Structure 1
């Protein structure tokens, strides 16, 4: 008799809903919105493709709560009901196969490139270590309250449109992460200083959303295990923040790490234990599982079915997050659930040009281009064709940039 596949087991959340299996499409920026951050029908096509692929949960790419503060070109913003009908179609398509769909909510704070934002804001007026970004100004307290309201308003609209939940993006150096970091948050008021004050922003965002959407709407968070910066957000602090959110009733915690300034999961310097178990942050997830009762997910590095099963069977995680593997093989969850010996074909992208191969933007852009293809009803490409793929990706990237430039100017 065939042994039951633990990946197929359902997972019931505190909010009362059940994710049908343990495979989640984690957030990837789709970059298919209009230059004005409007939702398009391509999201409907794309998410139905992923839903039919078999994952139990689909987490969208960044949905901005303020269209004037975006983390990258062609990101969706939901501030009002101007695109409500298309949002409904998007949610309905994503739920085609009994799948749950959560929208990842984000405000980038100062991590918004200067060609998109000439006046970024942050907890403190501390610039990022790059001329890609304009130095930010410090948020006023009334502006902090306004941003909390924006997160809440976006959540209400998405719930009404049919989404099953939201995920707060509290990782990778964006605004929530900036508030948590003692390096980036040096405020002297109730929003900065000790950890209780620094976590006040994310706690108030969660409580405000929960009050308006009720107990049956899922709210999760993507949080850094650490930002791996001197004087920054530590693992010990992350455990305490997770414990506080767990006590507030959060439905799921996805673990990540690093920031734009220190993208640890793209540097290629892995501990032997990470290589053996494939996924980043599993050791931290095991520590976290001893601290919280809410489900824990890890995304980043999982490639083989055997490693995913081991992570679940050893109770290191409750959900397996997959991103890039689903950009080239949207049917991978079905294979993981029904076949044996499955391994994703995702490999580091190489073109033979050393400088290009070292550019993270090149690899990210190639996967984003496969997402674009799926949104147009096309099959994603699975192999890089050397310099020709570079030219094709850069052409589409240039096209997207021209669209944004025309609108922003």
Structure 2
């Protein structure tokens, strides 16, 4: 059968996605002060749902209000009322769309201004210059690890009850699950560290706890690194073994990404020209994984054109195409692609024109976050929005002290 973006996808548990396009997770960073949803989430996700994607995955939803990745994260935990999420999930599931909650714990990647004492598998600091932004973490106790596993399960059950149609475990980009998998970040000598079997025990336990909480028919996915791209870190060989184990356990969808704060492969800035021309950053890895697992694979990173996406599907590099920034700049992109229009992603290189400013300011975060916030207010994105104006706006809204907090 020849696959195209318009083809449906049946997951292992029988759930059917209406097409092969998914919005990958991007942090909205616009929760209310109490870390609850508000009407802007419904406005934003209604726009994306009607844009045509078969699956929308939320930005980071934290499982513990004590440990946040960003100041305006949504939190799902026991004892916290978050009924406003129902408006969000109703809007995000319009048009036959699935909306899944991405569940996360940042581990050591919780900034200094949010966590005086972050936690991690081991007390290993992030390398310079990130050590200026993130405090050295405290090693988790066995009891705390078990509590975090239970928190993932609790958050998943809450997500189901509030109208999300699935959940995704964030196991990539250097957050806590990723930290446990990495021999660089995880130097424990107990059952949670050492061998790969021990290092994957955390994510395996999370999956099993969530499955017990939500049942067999509710989709559970994971976002996992193909590798950390860091010396002594999580390797491709390790990744393939973890993916194989999770697939055999019954994971419904596996999204492949790569890198971390310390090695930002997920942004594509270090990729070879030949890889960029092929568009999919991690396609070679996915083709190898497809030989050893039956679970559907979602590939995110680098897709820019209908041709590139269809080639990835036809060559069986993936089952689902993940798009992120492209949908921020053009929420109608999926509809246009599936109509066969000659449309390309509007993602482009961001620069202020000043190298020093580009190096010290997180342009890829602030500029795209402002676009997301525009859509949350019911406005159209502005692909040609001035990068300098974006920097100025951020400085005015955050102040100099706020910028110091972002940059460390």
What range is the shorter-chain TM-score in?
Answer: over 0.9
Is 1:241 paired with 2:237? no
Q: Structure 1's 306 and 39: CA in aligned 2 closer, same or farther, altered over 3 A?
A: same
- The DSSP-based 3-state class of the residue aligned with 1:97 is helix
What residue is the counterpart of 1:298 in the other structure? 299
State the Cα distance separating 1:328 from its structure 2 match: 1.2
Q: 1:59 aligns with which of 53, 57, 81?
A: 57
Q: Distance in 1 between matches of 2:355 and 2:211?
A: 48
TM (norm. structure 2) is: 0.94
TM (norm. structure 1) is: 0.94
Q: Distance in 2 between matches of 1:397 and 1:95?
A: 33
What residue is the counterpart of 2:17 in the other structure? 19
What residue is the counterpart of 1:98 in the other structure? 96
Q: Distance in 2 between matches of 1:228 and 1:365?
A: 25
Q: Distance in 2 between matches of 1:115 and 1:258?
A: 24
Q: 2:76 aligns with which of 55, 75, 78?
A: 78
**Deviations 1:166-204 (Å, cap 9, x if unpaired)?**
000000110000100011111111000100000000000
What residue is the counterpart of 1:6 in the other structure? 4
- The DSSP-based 3-state class of the residue aligned with 2:27 is coil
What residue is the counterpart of 2:179 in the other structure? 178
Q: 2:35 aligns with which of 26, 37, 61?
A: 37
Q: Distance in 1 between matches of 2:294 and 2:106?
A: 29
Q: Structure 1's 56 and 382: CA in aligned 2 closer, same or farther, altered over 3 A?
A: same
The answer on whether the counterparts of 1:266 and 1:360 sit within 8 Å (CA) in structure 2 is: no
Q: Distance in 2 between matches of 1:373 and 1:313?
A: 36
Q: Distance in 2 between matches of 1:107 and 1:128?
A: 16
Q: Distance in 1 between matches of 2:313 and 2:243?
A: 20
What residue is the counterpart of 2:113 in the other structure? 115
State the Cα distance separating 1:346 from its structure 2 match: 1.2
What residue is the counterpart of 1:155 in the other structure? 156
State the Cα distance separating 1:386 from its structure 2 match: 4.4
Alignment of 1:290-329 (within 5 A): 290-329=291-330
What residue is the counterpart of 2:143 in the other structure? 142
**Deviations 1:253-301 (Å, cap 9, x if unpaired)?**
1111111111123362322331221121110011111111001111111
What residue is the counterpart of 1:274 in the other structure? 275
Alignment of 1:151-300 (within 5 A): 151-266=152-267, 268-300=269-301
Corresponding residue pairs, total: 401
Q: Distance in 2 between matches of 1:169 and 1:302?
A: 21
Which segments of 5 or more consecutive residues in structure 2 lack a partner in the other structure?
Answer: none
The answer on whether the counterparts of 1:39 and 1:83 sit within 8 Å (CA) in structure 2 is: no
State the Cα distance separating 1:392 from its structure 2 match: 2.1
Q: Distance in 1 between matches of 2:348 and 2:387?
A: 14
Q: Distance in 2 between matches of 1:209 and 1:269?
A: 35
Q: Distance in 2 between matches of 1:351 and 1:146?
A: 44
**Deviations 1:49-90 (Å, cap 9, x if unpaired)?**
110100000000000000110111211111136444211111
What residue is the counterpart of 1:351 in the other structure? 352
Q: Distance in 1 between matches of 2:300 and 2:179?
A: 21
Q: Structure 1's 280 and 359: CA in aligned 2 closer, same or farther, altered over 3 A?
A: farther
Q: Distance in 1 between matches of 2:40 and 2:400?
A: 17
The answer on whether the counterparts of 1:349 and 1:384 sit within 8 Å (CA) in structure 2 is: no
The answer on whether the counterparts of 1:356 and 1:362 sit within 8 Å (CA) in structure 2 is: no
- The DSSP-based 3-state class of the residue aligned with 2:132 is coil
Q: Distance in 1 between matches of 2:75 and 2:168?
A: 15
**Deviations 1:2-51 (Å, cap 9, x if unpaired)?**
xx981000001012111100000000000101233222221111111110
Q: Distance in 2 between matches of 1:95 and 1:267?
A: 30
The answer on whether the counterparts of 2:329 and 2:371 sit within 8 Å (CA) in structure 1 is: yes
Q: Distance in 2 between matches of 1:301 and 1:230?
A: 24
Q: Structure 1's 5 and 142: CA in aligned 2 closer, same or farther, altered over 3 A?
A: closer
Is 1:369 paired with 2:367? no
**Deviations 1:86-143 (Å, cap 9, x if unpaired)?**
1111111100110001000000111100100011111111111112111111111010
Q: Distance in 1 between matches of 2:185 and 2:270?
A: 25
